[in-house]
Amino acid sequence: MVRRSESRIGGPIPKFNDYHIWKTLESLDDRTPIGRKKLSSLINVGEGSTRTILMMLQEQGYITIGKSGIILTSKGQDLKKEAHMDMAHIESSGLTIGEYDCAVRVPKMARMVKIGCEERDAAIRAGATGATTLVYAGGKLSFPGSDFPVDQEVDRKIRSTFTLKNDDVVIIGTGPTELSAEIGAVIAGLTIIGGLQINRELKDILTPRSSGNELISLAFAIHDLVGGLPVCAKSRDNLGIRIENGAVIDNAYTGPVLEEVLELGTTIRKITPSGPYKGTRVIVTPIELDSRIIAVIGVVDIRSMAGVNNLIRLNENQKFADEE
């Protein structure tokens, strides 16, 4: 079960995220072309996802694609420089709880760190076990918001890995695999610098064949917005997810109202006739792209079962139809 909390260990990783775009930029330069197949192996996603990333970068002028391969444009070089972080896999540091650790150095960004929770949560959402944030000031590494220095052995490992400068940030991502630790560290670092400044369209994020993993961020955001009520979501052609109490409790889910909305293409408020929420009010709405329904997402008003004021109100026709 995937839980969105401090105790959540790992989580589903989408087909690609900002880590893979960052890794793409790091793998390219303005002189030596690289082929798509080799790039796909370097960034650890399939050729289809690699193609999507490259189309997005090409459309915005960050790369050029020719017969000899892919290279960065001057605009792409600038983006790579803005998002650059030194990265290295390190032996278990004693600060972390995962089997593998990976560290990144984010230059001159200590002012953007609060207490490290934002970076940890970003790493967890990306599929890592967690992340530990450290800042370098006055010649020593310490935890953010504190003058308490880190363990001497951890300090030695980090100093032997990176050339530290005042106001640098070091983030140690941790996870059950080297890749998950690396993704966690990079995503946490990107959180500090404000993310990759790339325009994204819905088609770059969701498709009719998106898995539940690719819907998870949107589903959790809505779960938070509606005060923790259950949220269900699925794409048109794949099974989806069901979230309750901050956790994914089903990652191969569909329901009667989700399927009805996919068929009719309109928002539906009703009492669901079957499934785990049978007899409960739900609201499900479609997600459209280019006038096509690519996914649906819904909220379950479990408070109505306890007689609490309803979040979801049915219109009169639906009410009478459902209660007959």
What is the pLDDT, as a whole number, of residue 112? 93
Cα–Cα distances in angstroms (integers) from residue 163 to residues 225, 242, 300, in the given order? 42, 45, 51
- Domains of the chain (ranges; CATH) run 2-8+83-193 (3.30.1360.30), 18-81 (1.10.10.10), 204-323 (3.30.450)
Rounded CA-CA distance 251/274 in Å is 18
| Residue type present at position 283 | I
* pLDDT one digit per residue (tens) for the chain, 324 residues: 444 433 333 344 446 788 999 999 999 998 899 999 999 999 988 887 888 889 889 988 999 999 999 999 999 999 999 999 999 999 866 667 778 999 999 999 999 999 889 999 999 988 899 999 999 998 899 999 887 778 888 899 999 999 999 999 999 999 999 999 999 999 999 999 988 877 666 565 677 777 776 788 788 889 989 989 999 999 998 899 999 998 889 988 999 999 999 999 999 999 999 999 999 999 999 998 777 899 999 999 987 655 545 555 545 444 434 443
Kindly report the backbone phi and psi dihedral angles of residue 225, in degrees, each rounded to the nearest multiple of 5, phi listed first: -65, -30
Sign, CA torsion 205/210/216/174: negative
Kindly report the backbone phi and psi dihedral angles of residue 116, in degrees, each rounded to the nearest multiple of 5, phi listed first: 95, -10
Rounded CA-CA distance 174/166 in Å is 24
Angle, helix 18-27 to helix 178-193, in steps of 10 degrees: 90
Rounded CA-CA distance 101/105 in Å is 14
- DSSP label at 226? T
* Number of residues that make up the chain: 324
What is the pLDDT, as a whole number, of residue 218? 85
In the numeric block, which tokens belong to residue 231? 């949220």
| Residue type present at position 310 | N
Q: Is pTM, for the whole model, over 0.85?
A: no
Among candidates 155, 115, 107, which has minimal Cα distance to 132?
115
